[in-house]
Chain A
């Protein structure tokens, strides 16, 4: 399905410069995220709030609301994009992403169950990992059973059905417990609002591990994207790579969901944007994906805060409004059969 070959690889110097420019943009969107919001706060005050904190209302807004939120957008965006990139590379499927395949919904169902059962909030992230892992294994098994083995289309359709099932179960749990619903209604639509730095720290090690792991898998993923037979022929232990990649995806998707709810379409869209400019080498695609994912989610979150000021939208709606038409476009252009 992926037609371009490695021969059109760009020069490393150019790609490196691109990464530097991307980091600049990421920093810019991070600052923009801190600068813009319901209250008008000018740049000098923002600067002082970070470096000369004096406890005024503006400073408190910056430190406890905007800074955590902007950081969260970058981290979650990077995690979602990396997870999507790995999923697409591994399954050689342009429509695959943790949210399309039901992995995010699996994680969020597990979180809802955790809240329902009254588990300690420190354990939430483990529930999210568990849910993501079970959903990932299930969807892979469903997509690869049958005569033809793993076909990209079967995988996506199985993901859609799994999503519908898990979504209904989530609604059922929420209906059984009004209190759980109250606690997480906004989170469930995919939102970065109301999170504090204290929520980010416990999850950060897992995200860092996942991001580092995905960078380390770049070479193997490039080989895998040529096809499993080719990769095996070139001496790759495909089974090991698959398991490692699956663990990384579960880590990334699980932590992203634990932090910000099931935000859709970032993992689907970002790899496509990147492949246009960067080519097919996953050693470059992955760092780019993290940068672009961070930028995309930051910008989407800023937009979600500004469109109906002073109210705000869950950012998951913004990404769906952008991402769903893109998904339709992909389905139209890539599926010829």
Chain B
């Protein structure tokens, strides 16, 4: 489709890793980092107790300002805003991998039931072992996401991958896990349940550093892994037969990629609940910005996801202030029509 596109190659001397990215990637990445930082700063500055933009920047970098600002920014708002960025990155990357893996433009962890599997196991943990430290939640959600991914793989996608069947089985799986989650909620003790409910709507409300630190290692481990696997994802996109011919250990790579998806979406869901449609929208927007090659697509999609969640959180906080809408609702209100538009365009 695109003849003679200018490419840029990045080769590391000491490790056997190389990236071949579209020339647009560098510029787009720079712009996205700018947008994400701006959204972060605006998000931190707005609220019940407004902090001037410049004071926010100064406080974040540890420059002296009023001590009130330091408390509001560093303790209350910054962890939340940072978590929004990380969660957006995780969800978007998981979605990008899944779309590449299934060769299905409509697939996303939220749509095929991986996120709801993660939230089921996480809710089960909150309700059955209320004393468990927050740090264990990402692991629980990861297990749930992995189980859901395996179930989806066995039920829908192994026997001659059919994009539509994948989504339909996902719809069924989402309904099933959703019912089980409601079941858990009916069983549970009211205090744990109300905690679980706030979290289920998909929101970064009230998140603190205690939520940030357990999330960080997952992102630091699996986002680079996803980037390293980008080339394999490109190869897999050519079809299993051709990928095998090119020397790709198809089943091994696929399992690794699936693990990555489950880890990223599981830990994101564990931290912020099921924020829908980010994993669907971000890869599409990124593909329009930098084209389909995954080495460039994955970082761009990750940053797009970060921007989406950060902005959705900002909108959710400002729209009906002082009542906050969870950012999961904002993303769904934008994402569902976008999904329908994609469906319409692909049909």
Contacts and interface: CB of A to CB of B under 8 A. Distances in A.
A325 B168 contact: no
A128 interface: no
Interface centre among A154, A172, A327 (most CB of B within 10 A): A172
Contacts of A327: 168, 171-172, 175
Interface residues on B, range: 35 or more
B209 to A, nearest CB: 26
Contacts of A168: 276, 328-329, 332-333, 336
Contact of A169 (B178, B333, B340): B333
A88 B333 CA distance: 28
Contacts of A317: 179, 182-183, 186
Contact of B172 (A147, A172, A325): A325
Given A314-B182, A335-B164, A171 B333 contact: no
Interface centre among B169, B175, B187, B325 (most CB of A within 10 A): B175
B251 to A, nearest CB: 22
A146 B346 CA distance: 9
Interface in B145-182: 155-156, 162, 164-165, 167-169, 171-173, 175-176, 178-180, 182
Interface stretch (A36-44, A155-163, A194-202, A279-287): A155-163
B201 interface: yes
A167 B339 CA distance: 15
A148 B343 CA distance: 12
Contact of B336 (A100, A164, A335): A164
A95 B168 contact: yes
Contacts of B179: 316-317, 320-321, 324
B241 interface: no
A142 interface: yes
Contacts of B180: 321
A88 to B, nearest CB: 15
Contacts of A316: 179
B323 interface: yes
A146 B347 contact: yes
A315 to B, nearest CB: 11
A331 interface: yes
Contacts of B252: none
A273 interface: no
A1 to B, nearest CB: 13
B186 A165 contact: no
A178 B339 CA distance: 30
Nearest to A174: B201
Interface in A88-110: 95, 100
A337 B162 contact: yes
Interface in A158-211: 158, 160-162, 164-165, 167-169, 171-172, 175-176, 189
Interface in B293-347: 320, 323, 325-326, 328-329, 332-333, 335-337, 339-340, 343-344, 347
Interface in B176-229: 176, 178-180, 182-183, 186-187, 201
Interface centre among A164, A169, A264 (most CB of B within 10 A): A164
Contacts of B168: 95, 153, 156-157, 327, 331, 335
Contacts of A324: 172-173, 175-176, 179
Tell me the dominant secondary structure on chain A's binding face: helix
Contacts of A148: 347
B106 interface: yes
A265 B171 CA distance: 12
Nearest to A312: B186
Interface centre among A100, A168, A308, A323 (most CB of B within 10 A): A168
Nearest to A328: B172
Contacts of B182: 189, 314, 317
Interface string A254-269: 0000000000110000
Nearest to B171: A160
Contacts of A3: none
A157 B164 contact: yes
A172 B323 CA distance: 10
A48 interface: no
Contact of A320 (B171, B175, B320, B336): B175
A175 B202 CA distance: 13
28 contacts: A153-B164, A156-B168, A156-B171, A158-B340, A161-B340, A162-B336, A162-B340, A164-B277, A169-B329, A172-B325, A172-B329, A175-B323, A308-B187, A311-B186, A313-B183, A313-B186, A316-B179, A317-B183, A320-B178, A321-B180, A324-B173, A325-B172, A328-B169, A328-B172, A331-B169, A332-B155, A335-B164, A335-B165
Given A171-B329, A321-B179, A324-B179, 6 more contacts: A142-B343, A146-B344, A171-B326, A314-B186, A327-B175, A335-B165
Q: Which 8 A-B pairs have the closest CB atoms?
A: A165-B336, A168-B332, A320-B179, A324-B176, A331-B168, A328-B172, A146-B347, A327-B172
